[in-house]
Amino acid sequence: MQNADIAERLTELADLLEIKGESGFKLRAYRNAAQAIEDLPVQLADEIAAGNDLTKIDGIGKSVAEKCHELVSTGRMKKLDEVLEEIPRSVLDLARVPKVGPKKAAALFRELGIATLEQLKSACETHRVQELDGFGEKTEQAILKGIGQIAENSRRLLWAQADAVAQDLLAHMKECPAISQIELAGSYRRGKETVGDLDLLVVAEAADEVMDHFGKWKQFESLTGRGPTKMSIRTGKGLQVDLRVVPAESFGAALQYFTGSKEHNVEVRKLAKKRGLKINEYGVFDEADQPTAGAGVSEEAFYNAVGLKVMPPELRENRREIEWAATGDFPDLVTVASIQGDLHMHTTATDGRNSIEEMADAARKRGLKYIAITDHSKRVTMARGLDSERLLAQWKEIDRINREADDGFLILKGIECDILEAGGMDLPDETLAQADWVIASLHYGQTQSRDQITDRIVGALQNPNVWIVAHPTGRLIGRRGGYEIDMGAVFQAASEHRKFLELNANPSRLDLDDVNLMAARLHNIPIVISTDAHQTEGLDDLRYGILQARRAALTPADIANTRPWPDLKKLAGRV
C-alpha cells in the first residue's frame, strides 16, 4: 500500500465524518495526517516494516498510527468501514457539487434519502429539495447547474496551460487604468504542476471599474459572484478565476494570503498567534486590533512582522519552509540560468522535428554549453528507433559537427535506450559503451507487476553503460498515474551505482515529482533536469522542470547539469 492510498483513505474518512457532523478539529487532524503522509519522502509501509514509530511524524498521533498499521497489514480500516455502513461513499459526490457542502449533503441524505447525483438531480427537478430547511428555489437551481459543472471542476489544468490563460488575463487587466499593482497568486504562483483556478490580486481605488473591465475579458463566460472586493467568473473552458481588489497598504498581506498554500498559511497564522498577533489578508494586528504599520504593504514586511523571512512561493507547502524562514537560512533554489546543458532530446532521426544542428543552435541561443542527442532505440518502432548501425552513423555526424564548431559548444553522443519488457537493454553493450551519455527508459510493458517493473529499472541502473533513468515513474499528469514501482529500490540502486535520475521537464510528465525529488535528495542522488525536446521550442520546457525542482527545494548543487560537462562526468565517477 502506497502513501497516496493511505492518505486517500484518511481523507475519505475525514470527508465522511464531516457529513456525519463530527468535530471540525478531528477532521483537520485526519486531513493534516493525510497531507503529512502524502508529503513523506519515504514509504509509510517501509517505515512500519522497519519497526519505526509513526507518531514521530508531525501530524500523526496514536490513533492515526494505529489506523496506518491496520491499513498496511490488512488493507482495510475498521473505522472507515463502519462509517461507510452508515453513509454510502456516493454521498461524498453530493458534497462535491458547487454550493453543496457537507452540511447540505447531510441534510439531503438524512431528510430525503438522497445518496447519488442522479437522485439529487431528480429531486431538484421535482422541487423536493426546496422544501428542506435552509434550501430555497435559488439553491435548487444552483445545484442543478452545479451538477452539470462537476466534470469541469474536477479537471485541473497543467501549469503550462494555466500559464497561457494567466498571461492572457494579465495582458487584458493591465489595460485597465484604475489598477496600480497586479499579481497572480494561488497555486499558479506556487508553481504547482496542476492549477485548479486562477487568483488575481489588484490594487485599485475604484473596484467597480476594475470589475467591469474584468467582465470584458474575452475569455469571460459567466459570473459566479460579485461583491465590493471580490468577483468570481468562469472562462469558456470552465476555469474559475477569482479577482480580489485590495488597498495598497494591504497588497503584501493579501498576496501572502492568496498565494497560500492553505496549510502554509495555517502555520504562519499559528505562529503569529503565539506572538500575540493576528494576521489576515489586510495586515498584521495586535490584541487590541491595532495594525502594525506597514506590515501589509509587501510580503517581505508581512513575514518580517511575524518574525519570518520571506520565502519563494514554490516552497510554501508547509514542509520545512517555516523552519527555514525563522532564520532566513533557505536553500539557494535552482534557476533556469543555472542550467548548463540539456541531456535529453530527439531529432528527425526518430520522432523529433529538427536536425542535430538545429537543436544545437537553439540550445546555444538559450545560453546552454552542451547538449546530448538522445534519440529512441529500435524497440520504439513507432518512432523509427535507431539500431546500432544508424546510431553509430549519427555519432559520426555528431563528431563532424563538433569538429567544425569553434565556440566550445559540445554535442554529446547519446541514446535513449529502451529497457526491454523481459529486462535488459535494447542495444548491445558494445554499442552503448561508445556513447558519451546513455539514458535508460521504459516505454513498453507498463502494466507489468510492481516487481517486474522494479527489476527492469534496477537492472538498467546496474548496467555500467547506463548513466541515468529517464521519467522514472512513467506518469502522465491527468492521464495516467505511472506504473507500479518500488521507488525505494530504485533510489537504493541509483545511489549504490552512482547513477542519476531524471526530472523530465515536459509539463505533462514532470517526472520525478516534487515528493520523489525530495526523497532522491535524501539518498544524495544527483538529478538531471532535461526537456526531452522533440523540436527546438521544446527546449523552453526547461522552466517547468525548474519550477518543480524549486518546489522540492533543490539547489544547483543537487542538479547535475548545472555543472560543466567534465564536472558532471566526475560526479558520476567517470573521467
Partner DNA sequence: GCCGTTTTCGGCCCGACTGTTTTCAGTCG
Instruction: List the one residue out of 408, 409, 344 whose CA is nearest residue 376.
Output: 344
Contact between 61 and DNA per CB under 7 A: yes
User: What minimum distance in Å lies between the beta carbon of 444 and DNA?
Assistant: 40
Cα–Cα dist 251/253, whole Å: 6
| Stretch touching DNA by CB under 7 A, among 272-280, 307-315, 345-353, 395-403 | 272-280
Among 225-233, 343-351, 378-386, 414-422, which window interacts with DNA (CB under 7 A)?
Answer: 225-233
- Pick the stretch among 172-180, 259-267, 317-325, 368-376 that binds DNA (CB under 7 A): 259-267
Q: Which three cell numbers stand for residue 34?
A: 493525510
Chain positions 125 to 184 lying near DNA, rule: CB under 7 A, are 130, 133-140, 142
Smallest gap from Cβ 566 to DNA, in A, equals 46
CB of 62 to DNA, least distance (A): 5
- The correct pick among 127, 174, 270, 400 for binding DNA (CB under 7 A) is 270
Residue pair 303/265 in contact (Cβ under 8 Å)? The answer is no
Instruction: Give me the residue label for grid cell 514509504.
Output: 43
* Cβ neighbour number for residue 80 with a 10 Å cutoff: 19
DSSP state of 386: B
Return the SS3 of 333: coil
Helix (H) / strand (E) containing 529 = strand 527-530
Pick from 26, 121, 172, 384 the residue near DNA by CB under 7 A: 26
Q: Could you tell me if 342 and 537 are in contact, meaning their C-beta atoms sit under 8 angstroms apart?
A: no
Least distance in Å: CB of 522 to DNA? 20
HEC profile of 400-462: HHHHHCCCCCEEEEEEEEEECCCCCECCCHHHHCCCCEEEEECCCCCCCCHHHHHHHHHHHHH
Nearer to DNA, 17 or 372 (CB): 17
C-alpha closest to that of 87 among 9, 32, 5, 15: 15
Min dist. Cβ of residue 243 to DNA (A): 9
In whole angstroms, how close is the CB of 304 to DNA at the nearest point?
18
CA distances from 476 to 278, 383, 471, 548 (A): 42, 19, 10, 15
| C-alpha–C-alpha distance, residues 261 and 267, integer Å | 10
CA–CA dist 163, 159 (Å, integer): 6
Tell me which of 12, 31, 35, 59 binds DNA, using CB under 7 A: 59
CB of 104 to DNA, least distance (A): 3
| Out of 102, 472, 482, 526, the residue judged to bind DNA by CB under 7 A | 102
- Give whichever of 62 and 403 is closer to DNA, judged by the CB atom: 62
Contacting residues for 444 by C-beta, under 8 A, at least 6 apart = 379, 418, 420, 421
Q: Which of 31, 104, 346, 550 binds DNA (CB under 7 A)?
A: 104
Closest separation in Å from C-beta 196 to DNA:
7
Q: Which is nearer to DNA, 64 or 334 (CB)?
A: 64
The correct pick among 35, 256, 265, 504 for binding DNA (CB under 7 A) is 265
Q: Is 556 in the site for DNA (CB under 7 A)?
A: no
CB of 470 to DNA, least distance (A): 36
Torsion sign (Cα): 446, 447, 450, 451: negative
Q: How many residues bind DNA (CB under 7 A)?
A: 61
Using CB under 7 A, which of the segments 154-162, 267-275, 456-464, 488-496 binds DNA? 267-275
Q: What is the closest distance, in whole angstroms, from the C-beta atom of residue 79 to DNA in the complex?
A: 7
Q: Using CB under 7 A, pick the residue from 194, 219, 240, 388 that binds DNA.
A: 240
In terms of Cα–Cα distance, which of 164, 166, 126, 163 is closest to 144?
Answer: 126
Write out the residues near DNA by the rule CB under 7 A: 23, 25-26, 28-30, 32-33, 55, 58-65, 95, 97-105, 130, 133-140, 142, 186, 197, 199, 225-230, 240, 242, 258, 262, 265-266, 269-270, 273-274, 278-282
